[in-house]
Amino acid sequence: MATVSLNSGLILAAILFVIGFVGLITRRNLIVVLACIEIMLNAAGLAFVVAGARWGRADGQVMFLFVLAMAAAEVAVGLALAIRFRQALGRLDIDAADEMRG
């Protein structure tokens, strides 16, 4: 069985990560920003799985499980913050929260 090369998997992970990053800096909707963070975490997990498949070991998949748990925790807190954001500021535009003028 012809197998996928290591490079293809890593390049796919890199492309997905960069697309997520571009979305992170170009979108202003808070929900979409959180979704883009999910894309980036997923791409990082893909890189772990590809690296684990390179050696035929289970460690890469275990690391993906930890990334998965972390992403679930992050999105729970992030969406709770989005709800409070909307209640406090009336909209979901992340530019609404620039009172510190960072």
| Interaction residues for other proteins, span 37-96 (CB under 8 A) | 38-39, 42, 45-46, 49-50, 52-62, 64-66, 68-77, 79-84, 86-95
CB neighbours of residue 100 within 10 Å? 5
Tell me the HSE value of 86 on the side-chain side, using a 13 A CA sphere.
Answer: 9
Number of residues that bind other proteins (CB under 8 A): 79
Using the minimum distance from each CB to other proteins, give the nearer residue, 93 or 101: 93
To other proteins, the closest distance from the beta carbon of 102 in angstroms equals 14
Phi and psi torsions of 27, nearest 5°: -100, 150
Q: In angstroms, what CA-CA distances link 10 with 16, 52, 57, 59?
A: 10, 12, 17, 17
| Residue 2 in contact with other proteins, rule: CB under 8 A | yes
For position 33 contacting other proteins by CB under 8 A, the verdict is: no
Least separation in angstroms between CB 7 and other proteins: 5
